[in-house]
A and B are shown apart, each in its own frame.
Chain A
Amino acid sequence: MTRALRRRLAAFLHRHAGVRLSLLLSAPMLWLGVAYLGALAALFLSALWSTDTFTGDLVKEVTWANFQELLTAEVYRTITLRSVGVAAAVTLIDLVIAFPMAFAMAKLASPRAQRWLVIAVLTPLWASYLVKAYAWRVLLSSDGVLGWGYGLTATVITLSYLWLPYMILPIYAGLERLPNSLLEAAGDLGARGWRTFRTVVWPLAFPAVIAGSIFTFSLSLGDYITVKIVGGRSQLIGNVVYDNIGAAGNLPFAAAVATVPVVIMLVYLAAVRRTGALENL
């Protein structure tokens, strides 16, 4: 491109703010619109189809049968509740472990130690998910170091371990932004530790906690591998989706099941929004 042409183009963009903006936004909007919302729409649409039980082909006629089955069969309710329970437990456990850790990292450690601690938190993410899950399988097996056996508890423990960094990092980032002077001021005004935490630290760190919980909650809700490895005989929503795609080739029903975690996350995000935490992120 010649210099003159480049200059003319620059001048044109300078004068036309609208064109400039649309050029800048087109890539992210395309991603959001096509790749993300488009995929969700396709998911919902295919959930309204069915498969021909005779040939296994897709029947592209709208039917609510999949959702009807999902809502009426008791087993899916049980599995949904179990999955939400596991996700909530994992989130809670991660919060209890992550908060003190993030606080120590952000407020007590020296700047040098802080860097090393962040690296230490990130290190487990470098190892494969499967390796970590299998490591827990060995730990939990009846002749293993822990020997607690498999089941839902084992699943919650393993998932808590896997997603812990996703809880620590947002809280750490949130607490780091919290000025030390606020803590000192609280102390000067006579607040003890617990009161300072309740009235200063927690409200200011709350959006970060929410951010972390969105990670741990949604990651746990969609997981189906950990529960296969350490879950014993239990199954979660993800397993139902997987079984219907992989084994039965029943894509429409799998899509219908997959809308359940989407709906749960939408409800969760709406609830979070009411608390106002999203505005402060």
Chain B
Amino acid sequence: MRSTPRLPLSAAALCALALAAAACGSGSEPAGTAAAPGRSGFTPPKIEALKSLGASEGQVNLVHWAGYAEDGSNDPKVDWVTPFEQATGCQVNSKTAGTSDEMVNLMKTGEYDAVSASGDASLRLIAGGDVAPVNTALIPNYADVFAGLKDKPWNSVDGVSYGVPHGRGANLLMWRTDAVKPAPDSWSVVFDPASPYKGKITAYDSPIYIADAAVYLMATKPDLGIKNPYALDDRQFQAAVDLLKQQRQLVGEYWSDYTKEVQAFKSGDSVAGTTWQVIANVAKADGAPVEVTLPKEGSTGWSDTWMVAAKAENPNCAYKWLDWIISPKANAQVAEYFGEAPSNSGSCELTADPKHCETFHATDEDYFSKVWYWTTPIAQCLDGRTDVTCKDYAEWTRAWTEIKG
């Protein structure tokens, strides 16, 4: 699973690279898209998309998040790679990456054909000329992808698509139903200094968690004027850091790998804190009395894209993989295994759990409008302000060290 934070340069970084920085996102955009770069924020290197499919090369080399290309070796029942190999004759060689940095570095080696990039890696890859535009006409299943995921700032530039949407999810609030009463509907349960669960709160161990505090401040301290949790000026940043320093007194432990959080909730060492849906599912399956919710303040989250390398040696098999992973069946399997919303609208009927799409709000754009997809903060404010400089990720990292003390 995603055991490490994955936030290098991102979307808006590149938007800011361009001179037309002012065109990048405006403060009034709804959440989830506000981190978008301007439509012509930067000019990607000119790389041609594949014009037509040729003969299969017999293999394809993938870089992906853990759980995105399962061949049954982890769980014999979880396997969408073997059917792909049988159907297409393309042998899959997969490489798991732990962070977005790692993904970008692996793609720069030129040894891989396709990658499952998150919003904080995709535009770096595009700007660096590491990935090519994707000719979606060659991917039949693309037609069935939710419209709300197509042509988004993290997978397209100037209307040119650079990949196919894989799935998305939100960071949620999880609590133990036997310990936390009444059921919380707000992040205040993990931020309020008077929280009765002192010492049993858990938080995500990454500088990007500062954005979670900013999301909470957006709702509770409107006078700070935070428009985008990834664009914080000095005063806003200080407020978020102060909130987290105060939260530290409540925190029992910070988590970054998911087995650790599952175990902490099972044993009752943690009773409330931020989580992913997949963690909640595993904890529930292990018998822990936990529930999750998307709190009323909204939350942070992710949205991933499959991209094809600019110098792919096996482009035909890569295209076939892209088509396969967003096909209704495979997309349903991977979304269910990883615990996220599928990108193919046909997947919802094929999940083993008929309520999967409901649980993960696959069709609920209203739900995702409250989700701020992970983006790397840069000095150029992502919300379009030009009169102040924002804190960049290096400063977020230092602040995170200081918060943990």
A residues neighboring B (CB under 8 Å): 51, 53-56, 69, 73, 75-76, 78-79, 134, 137-138, 141-144, 149-150, 228-229, 231-235, 240, 243-244, 246-250, 253
Asked whether, in the complex, the Cβ of A53 is within 8 Å of the Cβ of B256, the reply is no
- Nearest CB to that of B101 among chain A residues? A249
The contact sample of 10 A-B pairs, CB cut-off 8 A, is A54-B378, A56-B8, A56-B13, A69-B398, A235-B401, A243-B401, A246-B101, A248-B393, A248-B396, A249-B101
Contact residues in B for A240 (Cβ distance below 8 Å): 401
Q: A244 and B397: CB pair below 8 A?
A: yes
B393 engages A228 (CB within 8 Å): no
- Name the distance in Å between A221's Cβ and chain B's nearest Cβ: 18
B48 to chain A, nearest CB (A): 26
Asked whether, in the complex, the Cβ of A243 is within 8 Å of the Cβ of B400, the reply is yes
Q: Are A248 and B405 in contact (CB under 8 A)?
A: no
Additional pairs, 4, CB under 8 Å, beyond known A141-B267, A247-B5: A54-B392, A141-B264, A228-B256, A248-B397
B1-60 residues with Cβ-Cβ distance < 8 A to A are 4-5, 7-9, 13, 16-17
Please classify the interface of chain B as helix (H, G, I), strand (E, B), loop, or mixed, using the class held by over half of its residues. Answer: mixed
In the complex with contacts A141-B267, A246-B4, A250-B397, A235-B206 CB distance below 8 A:
no
Interface check B207, CB cutoff 8 A: yes
B29 smallest CB distance to A (angstroms): 23
A78 engages B267 (CB within 8 Å): no
Chain A interface mostly: loop
Q: Is the CB of A232 within 8 A of B207?
A: no
In the complex formed, the residue of B with least CB distance to A149 is: B269
Q: Which residue of B lies closest to A248 (CB)?
A: B397
Q: In B382-403, which residues have CB < 8 Å from any A CB? A: 392-398, 400-402
Taking a contact as CB atoms under 8 Å apart, the answer to whether B397 and A247 are in contact is: yes
Least CB separation from B16: chain A residue = A54
Is the CB of B260 closer than 8 A to any CB of chain A?
yes
- Residue in chain A with minimal CB distance to B389: A53
The 7 closest A-B pairs by CB, nearest first: A248-B397, A141-B267, A232-B253, A143-B267, A53-B392, A247-B5, A75-B402
A54 and B16 CA atoms in complex are apart in Å by 9
- Pick the contact of B268: A69, A134, A143, A233 (CB < 8 A): A143
Residues of A within 8 A of B268 (CB): 142-143
Q: Which residues of B contact A235 (CB under 8 A)?
A: 401, 404-405
B176, CB-defined interface residue at 8 Å: no
Q: Is the CB–CB distance between B99 and A137 below 8 Å?
A: no
CB closest chain-B residue, reference A50: B394
Contacting pair B394 A233 (CB below 8 A): no
Q: Which residues of A contact B379 (CB under 8 A)?
A: 53-54
Q: Which of A55, A229, A233 has the most chain B CB atoms closer than 10 A to its own CB?
A: A233
Query: Would you call A243 and B397 a contact (CB within 8 A)?
Result: yes
- Whether the Cβ atoms of A138 and B263 lie closer than 8 Å is yes
A142 to B394 CA separation, bound complex (whole angstroms):
36
Contact digits for B310-336, partner A, Cβ 8 Å, 1 yes 0 no: 000000000000000000000000000
